[in-house]
Amino acid sequence: MAAQRVPAVKGTRDVLPIDTYKKADDPWVRTGHFHLVEDAARSLFPLYGYREARTPILERTDLFARGIGEVTDIVSKEMYTFDDHDVRVSMRPEGTASLVRAYVEHAVQAAEPDSKWWYLGPMFRRERQQRGRYRQFTQVGVEAFGSPGPRIDAEQIEMLDRWLRALGVPFEMHVNTLGDAACRPKYREALQEFLRARAAELCEECRKRTETNPIRVLDCKNPGCQKVASEAPKMQEFLCDACRAHFDGLREGLARLGVGHVVDARLVRGLDYYTRTAYEAIATSGLGAQSTVAGGGRYDGLVRELGGGDVPGVGFAAGIERLALLAARAGSEKASRPVLFIAPLGPAEEARADELAQRLRAAGIAAEVSFRRSSPGNQLKRADALGARYALVLGEQELASGKARLKELATGAQHDVELDSLEAALRGRP
Ligand code: HAM
């Protein structure tokens, strides 16, 4: 009898190199789709001066409570938290608080007042599982420390726009302003007053939020709450002069850089550290309810809140699973396929095939050898299944003469090659 299987934890997923599952409306995401998304970020972000930082998955719970906000859904309900002897720790639900901690802890401000960082890694939130929403997910994010003005916000949004375009993602860029410590409290009060008067129309959660975090009522998905939200006072009407000038500057910057966007007064974000600029890239098709592929904004008080100096910051993070899903839907994938499949027919040929493959790989050419003995016809079928561009059958005759036929699988064309100069023969071909 087979032993009992151990299933994966709810809300986590495996990403496999092969298609094991296919349904027209929910494409299976393979590692190649992840690579496409990640590699595009890796090559683009450094062009804007972002350099990679890596921080731990485990942090003190207090970092997130103070950084993201005690009353946010993330901190109050969704963190994986446990006691590590005398320290209460959580698995990071996002990257910004951790990066700010590292920035403060290593006194980066003194060495490098303006510093741009990017990061990639798994995040954990105990959310209800849905398509595009997982309990372990991956973010690529960026944080720019040190610049208070709106030009850097616009530069960063333009970078996000360029990245998503390069991936072929259909999206719309939404921007808003959330005010700052000078003007948001007045807005919060006015909003609260308005919401209290309309409490009967709100869902239970939003009646609570009215008291704890009224701004979050604005992005509740419940139709009753949405109606109330659409009639609620808007932050725009309460902005102080400095916040208004920042938002105008951002919009001018975006126009100058040619970034199409919509102003969305209901965009509020689920983390409490934001000031002024908030933005989200929203997929216009292909994702259903979880359509926000990236979100971010400015957090001018966070470095100070976490024990550092008065350093402004602005950043965003994107969900890689969502982007990979869109890439899978678009049929684009970064494939890792062998250039050449070598099929040896006997033991002596096998030894020669192993050496040839070793030599090709050392020269940077992806080569695969067959480990099975079967007919040349079957070997060619296997080469095809692997997606190889060329196949080479190695028999006694080829071994003796040092010459073989390179078969181009897509066209069936054959080329005579010398085994000793296989690298050159493959390099010379497109
Ligand atoms: P966030 O909006 O919470 O922002 O997350 C950013 C992105 O991560 C979302 O737009 C979404 O694509 C993805 N994401 C979030 N939760 C899940 C989930 N449960 N499953 C799959 N994908 C998910 C932040 O985390 C901020 N730290 C962004 C930021 C950086 N703000 C300033 N700097």
What is the DSSP secondary-structure string of 186-250? HHHHHHHHHHHHTGGGS-HHHHHHHHH-GGGGGG---HHHHHHHHHS--GGGG--HHHHHHHHHH
Q: Tell how many helices (H) and how many strands (E) occur in the chain.
A: 16, 16
Q: What is the pLDDT along the chain (430 residues), one digit of tens a residue?
A: 899 999 999 999 888 887 655 555 566 788 889 999 999 999 999 999 999 999 999 999 999 999 999 989 999 999 999 999 999 999 999 999 999 999 999 999 999 989 999 999 999 999 998 888 999 999 999 999 999 999 999 999 999 999 999 999 999 999 999 999 999 999 999 999 999 999 999 999 999 999 998 999 998 989 999 999 999 999 999 999 999 999 999 999 999 999 999 999 999 998 999 999 999 999 998 888 889 999 999 999 999 999 999 999 999 999 999 999 998 888 787 777 889 999 999 999 999 999 999 999 999 999 999 999 999 999 999 999 888 999 999 999 999 999 999 999 999 999 999 999 999 999 876 5
* Ligand 1 probe mutation, 292, 299, 300, 303, most atoms within 8 A of CB: 292
Token couple for 279: 């933005």
Q: Is the CB of 127 under 6 A from ligand 1?
A: yes
Q: Is the CB of 94 under 6 A from ligand 1?
A: yes
Tallying the residues shown for the chain, one arrives at 430
Q: Report the C-alpha gap between 257 and 244 in whole angstroms.
A: 20
Instruction: Judge whether 45 and 332 are in contact, CB under 8 Å.
Output: no
- Amino acid code (one letter) for 32: G
Measure 327 CA to ligand 1 centroid, in angstroms: 18
Q: Is the CB of 295 under 6 A from ligand 1?
A: yes
The atom of ligand 1 lying closest to the CA of 96 is 27
pTM across the whole model: 0.91
- Amino acid code (one letter) for 403: K
By DSSP bridging, strand 115-124 and strand 136-145 are antiparallel
The atom of ligand 1 lying closest to the CA of 299 is 32
Nearest residue by C-alpha to atom 8 in ligand 1 = 319
Instruction: Judge whether 64 and 93 are in contact, CB under 8 Å.
Output: yes
Measure 318 CA to ligand 1 centroid, in angstroms: 6
* Ligand 1 probe mutation, 13, 94, 174, 316, most atoms within 8 A of CB: 94
Instruction: Judge whether 253 and 245 are in contact, CB under 8 Å.
Output: no
Q: Report the C-alpha gap between 290 and 306 in whole angstroms.
A: 31
Q: Is the CB of 93 under 6 A from ligand 1?
A: no
Q: Is the CB of 155 under 6 A from ligand 1?
A: no
